[in-house]
A and B are shown apart, each in its own frame.
Chain A
Amino acid sequence: MVSQEERELHVLAVDDSPVDRALISKLLRSSKFRVTSVDSAQRALELLDLESNVNMIFTDYSMPEMTGYDLLKRVKGSSELKKIPVVIMSSENVPNRICSCLEEGAEDFLIKPVRRDDVSRLCNRVLKC
């Protein structure tokens, strides 16, 4: 018998801002995802190492030490993780940054503040839910 936890899609939210972490977590939970949120790319990698059931990653771009772009490269460079869709979020609309992320394999690049519609649209497109 499949538990509710197993039925729910699991999204990893990565953001060093506690305000944005609370927001994106709530947005995703409102869309019926199970959410784990962490405050750094390093912690995200540690969790991905332990958990094999992350279905999608939403990460902020600008974070100290390791950016969302660095995290994206690590995920897409890993044979175990590369199939996980990664969405980048940023408060700044920098075309070069957006292009680099999309070229590196990001599913989408969202300008903050992220809205409910952004999450629904991505969910429908990426996870077919």
Chain B
Amino acid sequence: MDYVHLRRQAASLRKGLFDQGYLDEQFYQLEDLQDDASPNFVEEVVTLFFRDSARLMANIDQALDKCVKDFNKLDVYMQQLKGSCTSIGASRMKTDCSAFRECCRDENIEGCMRSFQKIKREHSVLRQKLESYFQLLRQAGPVECATRPNK
């Protein structure tokens, strides 16, 4: 298996995530924390993020489905989601969360619905891209493998 090629693909995917604004500088902070004691720290935190964000988004879906909209509750849920986005460096999602919160403050339900649809799309795209990235990293293995001589 060509580990060098896989590593290059992973690096390219990663660069794209930053260049296209999906991730910001906070993601570097996560990478900086990864060490021998926690060799999969970044993937673990990202996995936690997608699990928790799915839960929060389900709460928001339910709250939006109700006849009487509780904008305070919607704002609280979105504040939590925005916080998680900020913590992993999910930059586009963070911006969309802020837009949703503005709509909550204005009690603009159509605006909330539109921005929430955008958040869901961004969430899905980010998840796909990061899953591909981590899969490539796993296939490429630790850096030492890249220098293993061919037999």
A: residues with CB less than 8 A from B are: 17-20, 22-23, 26-27, 29-30, 62, 91-92, 112-113, 115-116
Determine if A17 and B35 form an interchain contact, defined as CB atoms under 8 angstroms apart. no
Determine if B45 and A113 form an interchain contact, defined as CB atoms under 8 angstroms apart. no
Flag whether B124 is at the interface (Cβ < 8 A): no
Flag whether B38 is at the interface (Cβ < 8 A): yes
Determine if A30 and B52 form an interchain contact, defined as CB atoms under 8 angstroms apart. no
Q: What chain B residues lie within 8 Å of A17 (beta carbons)? A: 52, 80, 83-84, 87
Determine if B49 and A115 form an interchain contact, defined as CB atoms under 8 angstroms apart. no
Determine if B48 and A30 form an interchain contact, defined as CB atoms under 8 angstroms apart. no
Determine if A19 and B45 form an interchain contact, defined as CB atoms under 8 angstroms apart. yes
Q: Closest B residue to A29 by CB, please name it.
A: B37
For chain B, which range describes its interface: under 10, 10 to 19, 20 to 34, or 35 or more residues? Answer: 20 to 34
Partner of A19, one of B29, B41, B87: B87
Residues 20-53 (chain B) with a chain A CB within 8 angstroms: 26, 29-30, 32-33, 35, 37-38, 41, 44-45, 48-49, 51-52
> 14 A-B residue contacts at CB 8 Å?
A17-B83, A17-B84, A19-B84, A22-B45, A23-B33, A23-B45, A26-B33, A26-B38, A29-B37, A91-B82, A112-B83, A112-B87, A113-B87, A115-B29
Chain B 100-144 near chain A by CB (<8 Å), digits 1 or 0: 000000000000000000000000000000000000000000000
Partner of B87, one of A23, A30, A92, A116: A23
Determine if A92 and B79 form an interchain contact, defined as CB atoms under 8 angstroms apart. yes
Partner of A113, one of B29, B49, B52, B80: B29
Q: What chain A residues lie within 8 Å of B86 (beta carbons)? A: 91, 112-113
Q: What chain B residues lie within 8 Å of A29 (beta carbons)? A: 37
Q: What chain B residues lie within 8 Å of A62 (beta carbons)? A: 79
Determine if A116 and B32 form an interchain contact, defined as CB atoms under 8 angstroms apart. yes
